[in-house]
């Protein structure tokens, strides 16, 4: 499962692609403060293999993602801790 995340001006956008079912799910521009409770809830529900973010993404969201990566997930004990993948910011343009 790939989870793409973009946060700007307190707006969170998320897209999830499940390679097993070939299903794409999206959450459009949802209000999100820098506590990232919505994002953490999405990550806990989806349990992505990889999280894809812009190389120029805000440091606050990166810190939250890195902290989450180091928490053990019972459902996937062999979870790859290097699961944050950076793409060029041009890939996230409107």
Q: What is the pLDDT of residue 70?
A: 58
User: Distance (Å, rounded) from C-alpha 60 to C-alpha 67?
Assistant: 11
- Homologous superfamily, domain 2-58+73-92: MutS, connector domain (3.30.420.110)
Written as tens digits, the pLDDT of the chain (94 aa) is 999 999 888 999 999 999 999 999 999 899 998 889 999 999 989 989 899 988 888 888 888 888 776 554 444 444 444 778 888 877 776 6
Q: What is the pLDDT of residue 81?
A: 46
Domain ranges of the chain: 2-58+73-92
């Amino acid at each position: 499962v790939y989870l793409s995340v973009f946060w700007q001006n307190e707006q969170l956008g998320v897209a999830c692609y499940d390679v097993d079912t070939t299903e794409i799910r999206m959450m459009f521009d949802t209000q999100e403060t820098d506590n990232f409770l919505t994002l953490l809830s999405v990550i806990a529900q989806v349990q992505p293999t990889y999280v894809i973010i812009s190389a120029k993404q805000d440091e606050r969201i990166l810190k939250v993602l890195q902290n989450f990566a180091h928490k053990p997930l019972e459902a996937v004990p062999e979870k790859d801790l290097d699961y944050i993948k950076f793409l060029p910011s041009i890939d996230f343009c409107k």
